[in-house]
């Protein structure tokens, strides 16, 4: 008995030592990653200083204030050099004006100097000639990590550029920075244990949104003029809304070529970004709609179609984007699932009135069965295996506080999940409290169930398209979640993103345009906000957005699949009218 107890005690001690050593290894890898980032920043600052000594007379503020189209024109005609523009933006970033305030940068890309020299040697200038561009953490760049905020991805460096980066470089763009993301990308609060929390440059007490939150913060802070993000539940549109930017989520298959999954199997983040039922979309983020259109025009080129034959060879249709024909616009200011703050509904109403006054035809539109979309179609896509793949992603990882509720609920024994699912079923229509997500991930699904699930998504898409066509709509105007939440609140309100999630399930192109700011009157009206039923989740939303006077207020613009140009044209109309107001 004594020997058995001694053996047991020794085994427990050995297990404890093994876990402790594992945590120490993880901590060491994280510290090394942060040190590498800091050293890269120092190299950037040194290169900028050398440039300033060589060319002391650069009009920095004038260059930073140029819209992308004007900057591109100056670069194309030669009145500005790519070197001057690149180092002007590098100086903005390296001076810590943006990065220190927001912690948005994951890594500086020193190879930007090589790309600069490459485009200077070329005879032909691409559409993005000399434009500095930032890219989201998981978009593969040769010689760099694609981490998704996960420690197991800190060992493997990308061996080649992703297709997207290759096409950007072919068009003359200069990738110069990679931006921070939430751990696993499955969050709209931008935080991970390796590189920390990213904050909103417009108010450091607030979140920039996610998962493309680093991009949103860098562009809104003036450190980048154009960025590439990805969107599977609102990850381009939410940061654009929170940070006052324009962002486009295209039809998922219109752009391809992330490349990050090649680096490390676990970099796939379980099943989160590889679902065929609700696919991930790549898209641009910028300060205005014309910038998004230029980026899409540059990317939808022969180089993209040759490098990735799975991308349909459909070039950008300039005629559609430039059209001034009146539009037939469907609209709604609430989806009936998660009532948004008064300022976001006001934005839709004011934009609707402005469109009507400009000669467009406005038609009420109501997307059907949003609770069904959220509870059955969206969540069950991601947790079809009972959450096992999601949990596996965090094996050996330090879990970010913002994801602990989801991870812990996935780790519950199946019997406990089933019991909770049964008890909470009467309340499942809300799907806002993290515990209620247990009902969604309670059981693994069979192959037959998954086939049925995919079929249900296709049926729902067909129903919405039929409703759209019966009303003879060109586009739809609708709300987007906002204004920016106080940090810590996105993790408490997963169900609040129904406004963006819907168009990932439908795989429709959707974009966000800032049209206003929060007013004192909005704040007063917020005090009377009751939401759906004045329950804890409605009160949590109220707390999340309170005190946001002056923060951006946006609307969402939507078109049918493959009609990105029409979506952008509608976004441009909304932008023009809002600026006119």
Query: Which tokens in the block code for residue 461?
Result: 């898409």
Alpha helices in 55-147 (DSSP H): 60-64, 68-77, 82-94, 99-102, 112-121
Smallest Cα–Cα separation from 344: which of 186, 191, 544?
Answer: 544
DSSP-derived letter for residue 206 is B
Alpha-carbon gap, residue 281 to 113, rounded angstroms: 29
Q: Which of 187, 191, 211, 578 is catalytic?
A: 211
CA distances from 568 to 225, 317, 509 (A): 18, 11, 9
Alpha-carbon gap, residue 577 to 59, rounded angstroms: 32
- Cα angle 419, 421, 427; round to 5: 130
Query: Which tokens in the block code for residue 437?
Result: 């997500």
Alpha-carbon gap, residue 496 to 498, rounded angstroms: 6
| φ/ψ bin of 330: left (φ > 0), alpha (ψ from -120 to 50), beta (otherwise) | beta
DSSP-derived letter for residue 80 is S
Alpha-carbon gap, residue 424 to 88, rounded angstroms: 55
136 is catalytic: yes
184 is catalytic: no
- According to DSSP, the residues that pair with 133 across neighbouring strands are 175
Provide the 10 A C-beta neighbour count for residue 395: 8
Smallest Cα–Cα separation from 367: which of 271, 479, 450?
Answer: 479
* Strands 328-331 vs 552-558: parallel, antiparallel or unpaired: unpaired
Smallest Cα–Cα separation from 476: which of 458, 454, 502?
Answer: 502
The distance in angstroms from the start CA to the end CA of the chain is 84
Q: Which of 72, 92, 136, 212 is catalytic?
A: 136
The torsion angles phi and psi of 398, rounded to 5 degrees, stand at: -80, 125
Residue with tokens 């948005």: 104
Q: What share of the chain is helix, strand, coil (3-state, %, to 5)?
A: 50, 10, 35
Report the run of H or E that residue 107 belongs to, with start and end. strand 105-108
466 is catalytic: no
The residues, any chain, with a CB within 8 Å of residue 131's CB and separated by 6 or more, are 68, 71, 72, 75, 85, 172, 173, 174, 225, 226
Give Dmax over CA atoms of the chain in angstroms: 89
Q: Which of 235, 266, 291, 409 is catalytic?
A: 235
Q: Which residues are catalytic?
A: 136, 211, 235
């Amino acid at each position: 008995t004594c020997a058995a107890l001694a053996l047991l005690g020794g085994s427990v001690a050995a297990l404890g030592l093994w876990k402790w050593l594992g945590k120490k290894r993880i901590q060491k890898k994280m510290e090394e990653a942060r040190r590498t980032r800091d050293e890269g920043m120092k190299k950037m600052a040194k290169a900028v200083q050398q440039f300033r000594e060589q060319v002391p007379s650069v009009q920095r503020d004038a260059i930073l204030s140029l819209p992308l189209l004007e900057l591109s024109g100056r670069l194309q005609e030669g009145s500005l050099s790519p070197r001057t523009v690149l180092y002007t933006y590098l100086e903005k970033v390296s001076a810590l004006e943006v990065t220190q305030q927001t912690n948005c940068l994951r890594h500086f890309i020193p190879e930007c100097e090589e790309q600069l020299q490459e485009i200077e040697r070329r005879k032909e200038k691409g559409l993005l000639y000399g434009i500095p561009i930032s890219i989201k953490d998981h978009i593969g760049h040769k010689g760099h990590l694609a981490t998704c905020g996960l420690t197991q991805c800190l060992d493997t460096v990308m061996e080649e550029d992703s297709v997207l980066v290759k096409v950007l470089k072919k068009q003359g763009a200069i990738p110069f920075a990679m931006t921070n993301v939430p751990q696993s990308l499955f969050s709209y609060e931008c935080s991970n244990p390796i590189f920390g929390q990213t904050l909103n440059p417009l108010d450091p007490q607030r979140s920039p949104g996610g998962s493309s939150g680093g991009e949103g913060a860098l562009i809104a802070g003036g450190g980048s003029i154009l960025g590439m993000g990805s969107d599977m539940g609102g990850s381009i549109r939410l940061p654009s809304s929170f940070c006052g930017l324009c962002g486009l989520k295209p039809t998922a298959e219109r752009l391809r070529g992330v490349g990050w999954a090649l680096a490390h199997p676990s970099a796939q983040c379980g099943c989160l970004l590889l679902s065929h039922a609700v696919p991930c979309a790549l898209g641009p983020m910028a300060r205005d709609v014309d910038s998004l259109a230029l980026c899409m025009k540059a990317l939808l080129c022969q180089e993209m179609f040759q490098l990735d034959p799975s991308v349909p060879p459909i070039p950008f249709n300039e005629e559609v984007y430039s059209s001034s024909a009146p539009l037939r616009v469907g609209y709604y200011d609430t989806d009936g699932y998660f009532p948004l703050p008064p300022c976001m509904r006001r934005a839709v109403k004011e934009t609707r009135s402005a469109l009507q006054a400009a000669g467009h035809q406005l038609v009420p539109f109501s997307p059907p069965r949003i609770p069904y979309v959220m509870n059955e179609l969206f969540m069950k896509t991601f947790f079809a295996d009972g959450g096992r793949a999601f949990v596996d992603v965090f094996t050996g990882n330090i879990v970010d506080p913002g994801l602990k509720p989801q991870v812990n609920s996935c780790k519950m024994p199946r019997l406990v999940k089933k019991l909770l699912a049964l008890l909470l079923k009467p309340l499942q229509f809300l799907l806002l409290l993290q515990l209620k997500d247990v009902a969604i991930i309670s059981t693994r699904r069979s192959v037959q169930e998954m086939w049925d699930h995919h079929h249900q998504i296709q049926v729902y898409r067909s129903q919405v398209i039929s409703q759209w066509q019966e009303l003879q709509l060109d586009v739809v105007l609708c709300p987007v979640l906002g204004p920016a939440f106080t940090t810590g609140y996105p993790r408490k309100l997963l169900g609040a993103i129904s406004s963006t999630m819907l168009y990932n399930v439908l795989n429709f192109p959707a974009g966000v345009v800032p049209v206003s700011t929060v007013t004192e009157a909005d704040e007063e009206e917020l005090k009377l906000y009751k939401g759906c039923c004045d329950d804890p989740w409605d009160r949590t939303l109220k707390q999340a957005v309170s005190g946001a006077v002056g923060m951006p207020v946006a609307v969402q613009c939507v078109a049918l699949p493959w009609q990105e140009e029409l979506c952008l044209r509608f976004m441009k109309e909304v932008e023009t009218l809002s600026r006119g107001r």
